[in-house]
Structure 1
Amino acid sequence: MNQAPRSFQLVPGATASPVILHVPHASRTIPPDVRDGILLDDHALARELDHVTDAHTAEIAAEAAAAAAVTPWQFVNRLSRLVVDPERFPDEREEMLTAGMGAVYTRTTRREPLRPTALDPAPLLDRYFHPYAAAMTRAVADRLDAAGRAVVIDVHSYPTHALPYELHGDAPRPPICLGTDPHHTPGELLTVARRAFAGFGGTALDTPFAGTYVPLQFHRRDPRVSALMVEIRRDLYMDEPGGTAGPGLERLASALADLVAASTM
C-alpha cells in the first residue's frame, strides 16, 4: 500500500500521558496528483480551502502541548481534508455522503462540484485514509499500553456563519462546541472541558457539530478510550475566512492546556 510522505505526523509526548491532541483539518496541502483530480480553478480552490480548513488549530494544539506540565501526544494531519477526510466513516454509515462530503469529497462547502460524481474513491482511501486510520489506531493502542487509558481530544474550528454544506446549519453556534460520544465521553471529561473554556462566552454540546473521533477498532468497544471534540468558533481567534490569527489563539491554547492537564490526572 502506497503511503504519501508526511501525510500525518505523530509528535511524541510524555510516556505517562494518556492524552492525544488530534488535529485532522488544519492543513491546506494537496499533493499535485490529487490536485489534478479537482475540478476547481486555482482561485476557486483557494477560496474553498479558506472555508474548509480549520486554520491555526495545529498551532493551538502545539502551544497547548508546550504549556502542559505533562506533555500530551499530538497526531496532526499534514494534508488537507480535500484529499481525504480522516474523520468520516469510509462507507454508507457516513451521513455527510448526502452532501457529497464523505471520506472523499465530491462537492464543495457551497455544494458545487469538486470532483466528478462518478469518482471511484478507493485509490484515495487506500493511499491516504486507511494508513492514517491505522497510524491513529496504533497511537491510541500505545497510550493504552503505556498509560492504561487514552484520551483523544479532537481539535477543530468552525466558521461564525453556517456554510451551505452543513446539514444542521440552523443550529446554535456557540463560542465553543463540545462534541461527544455516548460511549466514550465520560461526564468528568465534559466537566473539566466546560471549566477550561468557561471564559469564552459559553459552551454547548453537539451543536452545530456533533460527535468525536475514536478509531474504529476501539469505537464503542473499549471504555478505556475517552474522546471529546473541541470545536472553536473562528471569530474567537482569527480573521475569517482563512485569515491570520489574533491574540485569541494564545488564550485558547492556554485553555486547551488546562483541559490537557485535567485529563492527565
Structure 2
Amino acid sequence: MPFEVVAPAEQRIPFVFNSPHSGRVYPTAFLEASKLDERTLRRSEDTFVDELFASVVPLGAPLMRAHFPRAWLDVNREPYELDPRMFEGDLPPYANIRSLRVAGGLGTIARVVSENVEIYAEPMPVAEALLRIETIYKPYHERLRQTLATTHERFGYCVLVDCHSMPSTVRTLPGRARADIVLGDRYGTSCATEISEAAYALLTDAGYAVARNKPYAGGFITEHYGRPGRGLHALQIEINRGLYMNERTLQPNAGYDRLAADLANFAAALSSLPDAPFYPLAEAAE
C-alpha cells in the first residue's frame, strides 16, 4: 500500500501526526527512468521520521505515513505544481507552473533532489504525472482530511503535527551553524500561538536549539489544513538529520534513541496543554 494510518486502539487525544516524506519504497520503473542511483534519490527523503514519532500511537494519536518516496511524488505541494520543462505533452490549464517551488525544481513531481541534481533522464509523459496525482496524491489527502475531520468531530478541535527532517547543513539561527529543530506555523496563521509557543518551550527545555519559521514556515499541508479559527491547528516540525542519523550511510547514529525518547516526551506534554484556546472561535466566545 502506498500509505497508511497507524491508529491506536482508541484515539485518546485530539492530535494527528503526519509523515509525508518518510517513504522509502522506490518503484522499479521510477529507478529505471532516473539517471540517479537510489542512494542519491534518497537525499530528499525524511528517513526514519515516521519511526521517530511512532510513540504517538500508544499515546493515543493516529500517525499517517507515506511509503512512496518524496522524489517520486510530493504530497506537501499543491496537487498540480508542475514544471512544464519536465514533461512530454501539454499540462492541463489549471496547473500551477509558476510557483517558487516549481522554479526550484521541487513541485508535486520533483525535477531535482538536493543540490539541484536532475532526477530524470528523459521527459516524462504528462499522463504519468497526472496518474500519480489521481491515484496517490488525491487519495492521500482524502485520507488525511477524513482523519482530521473525525478527530475534530470527536474532540471539538484537532491539532495536526506535520513531521519532517532537514539536512544538517541548513543554516537557521543567526551566529550558529544550524538549528536542531525548526517549528513552522506559517508565521502564526496555521495554529494557535499557545501551541507553537509551548512546542518551542518544551523542545528548548529539552536542550535543543529551536528556530521558528525560518527557513521552514510550513508547506502546503500546514497552510492548507491550518484553520485555527475553526479549531483546526497545524504545526510543522523539521528535525536536523545529524541528530539521529549518518547522512552518508542513511543509518541511525548514537543520538537516535535519545531523540526518539525526547519526541515521545514532547508529544505527551504538548497533548496535555490546557485546551481552551484551541476550540473554534465561535465556541470559545460562548
User: Shorter-normalised TM-score: what interval?
Assistant: 0.7 to 0.9
Q: Which residue of structure 1 lines up, in the alignment, with residue 133 of structure 2?
A: 125
**Contact 1:26-1:57 at 8 Å conserved across structures:** yes
Q: Which amino acid aligns with 1:158?
A: M
TM-score calculated relative to the size of structure 2: 0.77
Return structure 1 stretches of 4+ with deviation > 6 angstroms: none
1:165-201 deviation per Cα after TM superposition (whole angstroms, max 9, x unaligned)? xxxxxx9731111111333221111122123212333
1:41-60 deviation per Cα after TM superposition (whole angstroms, max 9, x unaligned)? 4xx332221x1111111110
1:114 pairs with 2:113:
no
Greater Rg, structure 1 or structure 2? 2
2:53 aligns with one of 61, 73, 97: 61
Q: Which residue of structure 2 lines up, in the alignment, with residue 11 of structure 1?
A: 6
- Structure-to-structure mapping, 1:4-153, within 5 angstroms: 6-13=1-8, 14-36=10-32, 38-41=33-36, 44-49=37-42, 51-66=43-58, 68=59, 71-90=60-79, 91=81, 92=96, 94-115=99-120, 116-117=122-123, 119-120=125-126, 121-153=129-161
Percent of aligned positions with the same letter in both sequences? 22
* Aligned residue-pair number: 245
TM-score calculated relative to the size of structure 1: 0.82
Q: Which residue of structure 1 lines up, in the alignment, with residue 90 of structure 2?
A: none
2:199 aligns with one of 190, 193, 208: 193
- State the distance in 2 between where 1:24 and 1:84 align: 10
Q: Which amino acid aligns with 1:236?
A: L
**Contact 2:191-2:226 at 8 Å conserved across structures:** no
Across the aligned residues of Structure 1 and Structure 2, the Cα RMSD in angstroms comes to 2.5
Matched position secondary structure for 1:20: strand
In the TM superposition, residue 117 of structure 1 has moved relative to its aligned partner by 5.0
- State the distance in 2 between where 1:214 and 1:80 align: 19
2:179 aligns with one of 174, 181, 190: 174
Unpaired segments ≥5 residues, structure 1 = 1-5, 164-170
2:190 aligns with one of 174, 184, 191: 184
Matched position secondary structure for 2:270: helix
